[in-house]
Structure 1
Amino acid sequence: MAAALALDIGATKLAVALVEADGGIRRIDRTPTRRDDGPGAVLDRLFALADRVLDGVQPDAVGIACGGPLDTRAGVLLGPLHLPGWDHVEIVRMAEERFGAPAVLANDASAGAWGEFRAGAAKDAGSEVYLTVSSGLGGGAVLDGRLLVGATTNGGEFGHVCVRPGGRRCTCGRLGCAEAYVAGTQLVERAREAMSAGRVSALAGVQDLDAAAIVRFAADDDLARELWADALDCLGQVVTDLVNVLEPEVVVLDGGLTREDALVDAVRRTVAADAIAPIRRVVRVERAALGGTAPAVGAGLLALEHAA
């Protein structure tokens, strides 16, 4: 069976997989990104990890998943927001030279959407909206069986839908984006800002504060409860807006924070209450089925399809 090497370049981890044409993963491995080392050192480690995963197998294609902005047609990273200093990195050319196979570049959330559409929670659907909720808030969509990419291949940035006009500044520079309220890194930043301003919270005693701790404390701590409730409200608004505009058969929620039943349940309630009546009766909101590997699976499948 044909197999693609999939490279997933995230803010905190690098994942490498050998993906088969049916979406199955033959082998996979991960390592911390350590993005402050710079693109040269990080890519050296990524490619070395890929050599170990391949273990002598010659891939039929290489799929690369990374957050944007990107130029997927030229195969170039254009300064991804989660990788400061990675400006105009010709990642496709480098991968093709290293691995001797045609390579393609895709936005990581778009690749995740394709992975879940072809081999995951949306595999029996004709259309899908996909959101990944972790350190950031990414998204992708498949409409009538076609992956939405947009005019410059940077479409699907659902995390930058405005939910609080004039609100917090997002990493993209805009005020009030959903990512500024839902992303794990932003939950932590908001908690620290509140405590620095004098807000009393049990979170002050948490070493290495992260979003998971905020969720754990939400049952008993007022600040944690408010932040988590606001994040769930913002995410529900975004999903409902997307459902109303795109009318997908299924919404797939992926990423570390979606392991929380409260998040999935809150989105389902908001969509059921606020989506347009004919749409809310048919759309399903599901947790991702690929266990965090959707971007790698999707990138591998896109690469195989492109090489066919």
Structure 2
Amino acid sequence: MRYGKPGGIAYHHISDTYIALFTHFIPCGVWEAVYIIEGLLKNTSEVKPTTVHADTQGQSFPVFALAHLLGFDPMPRIRNWKDLTFYRPTKRTEYVHIDALFGEPGRNVIDFDLIESQFRHLMRVAVSVREGAISSTLLLRRLRAGSRKSATYIAFREVGRVIRTVQLLRYLSDAPLRRRVTAATNKVEAFNGFSQWIGFGNGGAITDNDPVEQEKTASFNALLANAVIFHSALDIAEIVRQLLEEGWETDPEELAHISPYLTERIRRFGEYSTHELGIQPEAYDPKLDVDFTQLHEQEPAASGFGTAA
């Protein structure tokens, strides 16, 4: 979606069920990663993500640390591996096959003593964020701009180094995990494209300078996209039921590749049939007679990405 002056980004949190859980409208130039946690904490839907995916901005130390302290599993898309540092638990720690990833022996060591001394304070901060006493957005901004001499900043940084190193090692050693991260980030990109297609009015531009109106437009666009996605999911389910009744075998792995981000049968300009306004729609059946248990089970996840301005 394009935005007019002063410009901005619609930052969506997309569930692994394809829908947008939360949408922020943020001005251009803002560090997008600070909104990753905020959307999850404000989420009031029945979908409760435990894993959060993001683009490259999401791999910063403060985001890793705060997400972990709040009980989320941060799993961002990884780029520029050659520029990332792996951290050792002690100066004497060495690894047989992967020691080169950690740099020179005795270097890049986690300060666990500092983490231990600051642990109570870190947990108090995390609880304050969880309870809404402190905004996660404000906290991450302060941590990003904080003094490197601050014990709180350094403690958050050290925790972030631990979590990111563990996640990098998981990412390297777990091929199915890499596929899940790629699939999740591709899903978000697909939602962004779909919401842009839905938001065709006025050339897709938000020309209102009022931040409240900008937020409304971005949120209404996500709501409309969710409604169309839901409608498409019902149509897909009905077609699958018809195929099952006709005796066709349905492979759950093939169904898993079908996306509800369909546009071919959607009339963006609508049909204005006022005589249908009073018709009560039939109750929908969300269940299919298909065994999906053979697919790999995983924790609910959400992904945070911004639609570029």
TM-score by length of 2: 0.27
Which structure has more strand as a fraction of its residues? 1
Q: Between Structure 1 and Structure 2, whose CA radius of gyration is higher?
A: 2
Which structure has more helix as a fraction of its residues? 2
TM-score by length of 1: 0.27
Q: 1 or 2 for the larger relative contact order (CA 8 Å, sep ≥6)?
A: 2
